Structure 1
Amino acid sequence: MGVLLDRGRILLIRRVSREGDPWSGQVAFPGGRWREGEDLLQTAVREVEEEVGVRPTGLVGVMAPQSPKNAPWLKVVPFVFDRWEGEVRPNPREVAEARWVAREELAEEEWMGRYAYVAGSWVIWGLTFRILKALVDCGLF
């Protein structure tokens, strides 16, 4: 997973809706599946490039692996970047929309019995909320 930071903003995507995808239509960070022969950094860079058209170059750090509550066997490793090459252009096969969200836009609220951030019409919950909350809490975002 690639977390892109830009002067007090963070890039979030809304995933394309797909039947059978448990995270279909959800707000997330760009990212995806590891391929054999890659290390995890290569996976993060490739997936960000495939999903939003930019190639991350400025690695700030790597967060601890986490798992979605509905897939505890799945390990997600967030790589945080503050530089990249190219302009954000969502891949319409994977990303319905991409938005830069400022810290000031986030309102923490209870949503369906869980804590979430709301940014305009987007509800950021689950694993994405937990990663974003960790970035806010440590002062990186």
Structure 2
Amino acid sequence: MPRKSWVSQLRPQKIPFRRRFARASVALIFRKTEDGGKELLFIQRARRAGDPWSGDMAFPGGRLQSEDASARAAAQRETLEETGIDLSRHGRYLARLSDLITRHHSRWRPMVVTPYVFEWRGPKAVSPNHEVERAVWVPLDYLAAGENQSQLPWRTPLGTLNLPCCHYLDSCIWGLSYSMLQELLEMISETGRELEP
């Protein structure tokens, strides 16, 4: 009997009653390099006053709108708006990761975020819009290496927390993006498979 691929083995955690919450979705997009490696796309958010995640590294995505047919469609639409990457034309959908809970940018209401994994097979150029300061392709091997994992001190009224993160050049990947990345890397490691459907 043939071994199942890592996508078919994936069993993401879906938050119960998620449709009753505000929802957002993001796209984890990887591409193959000429030397046979793989890179994952991150965006650095534009710096804006009042935005708690201003300047942070993230995956492209955003909130669901009434015209979106699904959370995955929202991730594709937001990716096109933010980066110019058209996943419906040159992307190959691979998997859905687990739901995560965060909050609205401007209020403390909960919001459910759903990540989707795609392979990019289109042009190399990325065209960030006003919401994005820059787009960065990071080697997957670098993201998986233990020596590149670190901690980010985060001050709270109760003291300082040391949050797990990954530094790349002058950027820091942490928070929800780091959690999504770790689930992706763990899934690949557990199944012993490459990013293939």
Per the TM superposition, whether the score is higher than 0.5 is yes
Tell me which structure has the larger Cα radius of gyration: 2
Mapped partners of 1:89, 1:2: distance in 2: 16
Deviates more, 1:23-32 or 1:64-73: 64-73
Separation of aligned partners in 1, 2:67 and 2:82: 20
**Distance in 2 separating the partners of 1:84 and 1:55:** 10
- Identical positions, percent: 29
Provide the residue aligned with 1:35 in structure 2: 65
1:115 counterpart residue number: 164
Superposed counterparts of 1:61-140, under 5 Å: 61-68=95-102, 73-86=110-123, 87-91=125-129, 93-106=130-143, 107-112=148-153, 113-139=162-188
Contact 1:59-1:80 at 8 Å conserved across structures: yes
Q: By percentage of residues, which structure has more strand? A: 2
Gaps of 5+ in 1: none
Aligned to 1:16: 46
Q: Could you say if the C-alpha distance between residues 69 and 114 of structure 1 is closer, same or farther in structure 2, counting changes exceeding 3 Å?
A: farther
Structure 2 letter corresponding to 1:63 = L
What is the CA distance between 1:111 and its match in structure 2? Answer: 1.7
Whole-Å separation in 2 of the counterparts to 1:94 and 1:81: 21
In structure 1, C-alpha distance between the alignment counterparts of 2:163 and 2:28, rounded to whole Å: 23
RMSD: 1.9
Secondary structure of the residue that 1:130 maps to in structure 2? helix
CA distance in structure 1 between the partners assigned to 2:113 and 2:121 by the alignment: 21
Q: Secondary structure at the match of 1:98?
A: strand
Task: Give the residue type in structure 1 aligned to 2:116.
Answer: F
State the distance in 1 between where 2:109 and 2:186 align. Answer: 24
- In the superposition, the TM-score normalised over structure 2's length comes to 0.66
1:55 touches 1:84 (CA, 8 Å); kept in 2? Answer: no
Match of 1:2 in 2: 27
**Farther off after superposition, 82-91 or 21-30:** 82-91
Contact 1:67 1:75 survives alignment (8 Å): yes
Q: If the length of structure 1 is used for normalisation, what is the TM-score?
A: 0.90
Higher helix share: 2
Instruction: Give me the whole-angstrom Cα distance separating, in 2, the residues matched to 1:83 and 1:97.
Output: 18
- Structure 2: segments with no counterpart, 5+ residues: 1-25, 33-37, 154-161, 189-193
Q: 1:82 to 1:42 in 2, by over 3 A?
A: same
Counterpart secondary structure, 2:164: strand
- Runs (4 or more) in structure 1 with deviation over 6 Å come to none
Aligned length: 140
